[in-house]
């Protein structure tokens, strides 16, 4: 598998456009890897994790076409992760030629909230209607926590996220070609049932991607902080959940408590993990 980070920031982006905090000012001055769009991930060239608001810009900036994307697994419906206008913009009715049908997998809560936003802001048609989906070159799939589902050459297991409890937020393990990644954002500390499900499903991760919204001296509650990332990485290693030469990356970086990329990366390296940055592409 090849994974590409299309965005690695928290909800505000980093630097936050309206903010004059020291982290945002330094990030503007540094540029490069310190400039972060809202979080999304591309797997190979056909699987997207989160249909986020910045994926169009990411495709242009990082030179990665999304024209072959035929699957999307959605973590939750918060606006920094889901922009339903993309359902329209990628459709034949908006002039898109040759795009495959998009199979969109999400919790029922996420699908219903996406439909509400779509109907309120974009169209009088019901997104949940089979006719609307056909017109949009789209097929919606409702999934549940701890469900294993398959499409193409992928096996995906959904886990409940400790985040936005009324919205059916999910985390995902994605398996393909004898490799496995765990995508763990947005979430606070993982639930006990998630840890148990890792073992029940005999998971061994080659790459782990964890939420790092809060920084070195912030409390983690609805998201994780740096020290919780270290604790989760250590526990995964101790419990045999990491494959040989596994790598752990932090994403969903908030500007409030995390310094710009070079300083944050130095801290992470000292503690055995990496900080993802926009455009980072690696083979798993």
> What are the Cα distances from residue 247, in Å, to 9, 22, 31, 232, 240?
19, 30, 25, 13, 14
b/e map 104-118, b = 16+ CB within 10 Å: bbbbebbbbbbbebb
pLDDT (tens digit per residue) in 206-264? 999 999 999 888 887 889 999 999 999 999 999 999 999 999 999 999 999 999 999 99
- Retrieve residue 98's tokens: 């040759």
E strands in the chain: 2-7, 40-43, 47-49, 71-73, 102-107, 138-143, 148-151, 154-160, 170-176, 179-184, 205-211, 242-251, 274-275, 281-283
Using DSSP, state whether 201 is helix, strand or coil: coil
pLDDT (average), residues 168-197: 97
pLDDT (average), residues 178-196: 97
pLDDT (average), residues 3-28: 97
Say what percent of the chain tops pLDDT 90. Answer: 95
CB 243 within 8 A of CB 205: yes
Mean per-residue pLDDT over the chain, rounded: 96
pLDDT of residue 185: 95
pLDDT of residue 63: 96
Pairing, β 242-251 against β 274-275? parallel
pLDDT (average), residues 119-140: 96
pLDDT (average), residues 127-139: 97
pLDDT of residue 150: 98
Using DSSP, state whether 9 is helix, strand or coil: strand
Residues paired with residue 275 on neighbouring β-strands, in sequence order: 250
Which residue, among 206, 167, 160, has the nearest Cα to 187 in the 3D structure?
A: 160
pLDDT (tens digit per residue) in 47-105? 999 999 999 999 999 999 999 999 999 999 999 999 999 999 999 999 999 999 999 99
Using DSSP, state whether 16 is helix, strand or coil: coil
CB 186 within 8 A of CB 81: yes
Neighbours of 130 (CB within 10 A): 10
pLDDT of residue 136: 97
- Between CA 270 and CA 261 the distance in angstroms is 14
pLDDT (tens digit per residue) in 165-179? 899 999 999 999 999
Report the greatest alpha carbon distance in the chain. 54
């Amino acid at each position: 598998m090849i994974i590409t980070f299309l965005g690695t920031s928290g909800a505000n982006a980093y630097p936050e456009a309206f903010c004059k905090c020291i982290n945002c000012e330094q990030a503007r001055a540094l540029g490069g890897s310190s400039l972060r769009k809202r979080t999304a991930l591309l797997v190979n060239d056909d699987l997207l994790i989160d249909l986020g608001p910045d994926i169009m810009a990411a495709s242009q900036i990082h030179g990665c076409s999304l024209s072959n994307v035929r699957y999307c697994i959605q973590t939750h419906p918060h606006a920094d992760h889901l922009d339903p206008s993309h359902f329209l913009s990628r459709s034949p009715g908006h002039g898109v030629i040759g795009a495959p049908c998009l199979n969109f997998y999400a919790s029922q809560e996420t699908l219903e909230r996406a439909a509400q936003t779509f109907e309120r802001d974009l169209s009088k048609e019901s997104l949940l209607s089979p006719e609307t989906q056909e017109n949009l070159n789209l097929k919606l799939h409702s999934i549940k926590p701890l469900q294993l589902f398959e499409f193409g050459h992928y096996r995906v297991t959904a886990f409940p996220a400790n985040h936005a409890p009324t919205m059916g937020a999910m985390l995902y393990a994605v398996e393909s070609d004898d490799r496995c990644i765990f995508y763990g954002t947005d979430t606070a500390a993982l639930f006990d049932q998630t840890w148990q499900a890792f073992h029940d499903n005999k998971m061994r991760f080659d790459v782990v991607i964890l939420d790092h919204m809060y920084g070195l001296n912030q409390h983690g509650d609805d998201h994780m902080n740096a020290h919780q990332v270290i604790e989760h990485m250590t526990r995964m290693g101790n419990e045999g959940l990491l494959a040989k030469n596994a790598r752990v990356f932090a994403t969903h970086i908030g500007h409030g408590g995390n310094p710009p990329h070079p300083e944050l990366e130095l801290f992470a390296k000292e503690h055995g993990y990496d900080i993802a940055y926009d455009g980072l592409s690696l083979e798993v």
